[in-house]
Structure 1
Amino acid sequence: MPDSAVTTSPTTVKHQIAAEILRARSGAALIGLLLTALAFGALGQLGAVYADADLAANAVDASHRVVNLAASATLFASLFGALLVTGEFKTGSIGRSVLYAPGRGAVVGAKLLVAALAGLLYGVVAVLSALAVGTAAFSAKDVSLVLDGRTWQVAAAIVGVCALAGPWGAAIGFVVRNQLIAVIGLVVWGTLGQLMVLSQFPKVGRFLPDGAQLAVLGDRLTLPSALDAPYGLLVLVAWCAALALLAQRMFTARDV
C-alpha cells in the first residue's frame, strides 16, 4: 500500500498519537507486562536482601543493588513496544492505520512515541516498587534502606533506559513484523544472548546496546570494561536512533 499523500498538520499528528495511546491502553499487554515486571523485580529484590548475611554492614551497596534490580523492567518495556507494533501486523489492522494516517512516517513516529511513554511509565513504577519493596525488606531486618545520591542516580538511569527500551522494541517490531519472532528474540537476547556476548567479548559488547545500558546504569560488576555513563548514554541513543530510522525506511518501502 503506498504511503499517504495527505499533508501532515499538528491536528492530524495529534489525532494519530491519541489513536495510538487509545490502542495501547485498550489491550491487556500494558498492565499485564507491567505487573509481571514488578513481580520479577520484587522477587529479585527480596532475594538480594535476605541473601545478605550482614545487611547492616553492607547497607549502602545492598541498597544500590536493590534499586538497580528494577532495571529488569527494560525487557518488559521493550516487549510492550514490540507487541504494540506486531499486534497490528498479526491482525491486519496495520493497513487501516496507514489508511487513516497522514503518512507512514506518522504511524512509525506515533508508535515510537507511545512506546517511549509506556517505557517511561514502566521505569517510574519499577523504581517506586523497588524503593517500597526495599524499604519493607530492609525494615524487616532492622536496617534502613540507604537513599543517597547514588541511589537516585541509579533510579534516574533506570527511568531513562526504560523510556528508550519501549521504542527500541517498537522499532524491532516494524523491522521483524512477526510477533512470535520479535518476542522470542527479545526474551532470548535479553536473558541469555547479551550475557554471553558481554562475558566473551566485553570490549565489543560495551559498544552494543546492552553494554551501553549497563554503562548508563553504572553496573561495572556485570561489565567491568563498561564505558563511562555519559558515553554509554550517547551510544544507547545512537543505537535507538539508527534502529528507528531503519524501521521507518523498511515500513515505508514494504507493503502492508
Structure 2
Amino acid sequence: MRDAIRAELLKARGSWWMLFGLAYAYLMPAMCYSYAPDSVIATDGADSAAATRTLLAFLTAVPVASIFLANWGIAKEYFYRSLPRTALTQRRIDGYVAKCVSGAVQGLVVGVLGTTAWSVSTWIILEQRHQSFDLGAATWQTLVLTVVASVLAGPWGVTLGYLLPNYWTTTAAALIAPFALELPLMLHAPSIGRFLPVSTLAGVVQPPIPGLLPPLAAVAASLLWIAASLLGGWHLFRRRDLT
C-alpha cells in the first residue's frame, strides 16, 4: 500500500498537468471575478472586513480546481489505456486507495496555493480601490476552510473517474457540471442545490451566498457524498474488466 501511494504521488509531482492544475487553482477564482457583475464585486462604502469577504468569496472556485486536477489522474489512465498495466502490477484495492490519497494530497496543495494566490490578488485589488485587506479571524477562517474543502474535493475528483470511466464524460462532470448545473440550482432553487456535491463544498467555505448549508452540516454532507462515491467507485472498479 505504501509503495502504491508513493508511486501515485510521484506521478502527480512529475506530471506537467500538475503545473496546469495549480495555475488553474488561481485562474478559476480570477475568471469568476472577471465575469461577475459589478453588483457582486462592488465594495464601495464597505469596511475592510466586508470588502475582503466579498472578494474572497471567489475562493469557492478553488475546490473545483482540486476536483479537476485529481480527476485527471484517473481519467488519463483510462484515456491512454494504461490502467490495466497499473492494475496488474499491484492489488486493485492498493491502487484505488493510493489514487484517493494522492487526490487528497493534491487537493491540499491546490488549496494552499490557490488561497495564497487569490489572497494576494484580493490585496492588490483592494489597494487599488484604496481599501485595506483584513487579516482578522473571519478571513483566516475562510482561507482555512477553503483548504479543507479542497482536500475533501480531491477524493471526490478521483472517484468521479472510476464512476464515469470515460475521459470526456468525467471531465464534463468535474469541470462543467459545477457551473452549468449546480450554480444555477443554487441560485434559483437553493433548497435542492445546496445538497449537491460542489455546493456542499461551497458551504464549507461559507461565501456570502444565501441558502448554503452551515459549515458543520456542509462538512457532514460532503463526507457523505465522498463516502458514497468511494464505495460506488470501488464497487465498479472491482467488477470492471480492464483487459
TM-score by length of 2: 0.90
Shift of 1:127: 0.9
Map 1:139-158 → 2, pairs under 5 A: 139-158=127-146
Q: Which amino acid aligns with 2:93?
A: G
In structure 1, distance between residues paired with 2:197 and 2:138: 23
- SS of 2:135's equivalent in the other structure is coil
| Distance change (3 Å), C-alpha of 1:153 and 1:24 | same
Counterpart in the other structure of 1:4: none
1:217 offset after TM fit, Å?
1.8
Q: Identity across aligned pairs (percent)?
A: 23
CA contact (8 A) 2:162 2:236 kept: yes
- Is the counterpart of residue 16 in structure 1 residue 4 in structure 2? yes
**C-alpha displacement of 1:200:** 3.9
One-letter amino acid of the counterpart of residue 81, structure 1: A
Q: Which residue of structure 2 lines up, in the alignment, with residue 130 of structure 1?
A: 118
Q: 1:174 aligned to 144, 158, 162, which one?
A: 162
How many Å apart are 1:131 and its aligned residue?
A: 1.8
Q: Aligned pair 1:40/2:28, yes or no?
A: yes
Q: Which has the larger radius of gyration?
A: 1
| CA RMSD, Structure 1 to Structure 2 (Å) | 2.1
Q: Match of 1:79, as an amino acid?
A: F
Give aligned pairs, total.
240
Deviation at 1:46, TM superposition (A): 7.3
Classify the secondary structure of the residue corresponding to 1:215. Answer: helix
Per the alignment, residue 196 of structure 1 pairs with 184
Match of 1:99 among 73, 88, 93: 88
Contact 1:42–1:129, Cα closer than 8 Å, also in 2: no
1:67-115 C-alpha deviation (Å, 9 max, x unpaired):
23122121221111111001111212111111111x2111110001101
**Unaligned residue ranges in structure 1 (runs of 5+):** 1-12
For 1:113 and 1:177, how far apart are their aligned partners in 2?
19
Q: Label 1:141 to 1:174 Cα distance change in 2 as closer, same or farther (>3 A).
A: same
1:236 aligns with 2:225: no
CA contact (8 A) 1:55 1:143 kept: no
Secondary structure of residue in 2 paired with 1:211: helix
Aligned to 1:84: 73
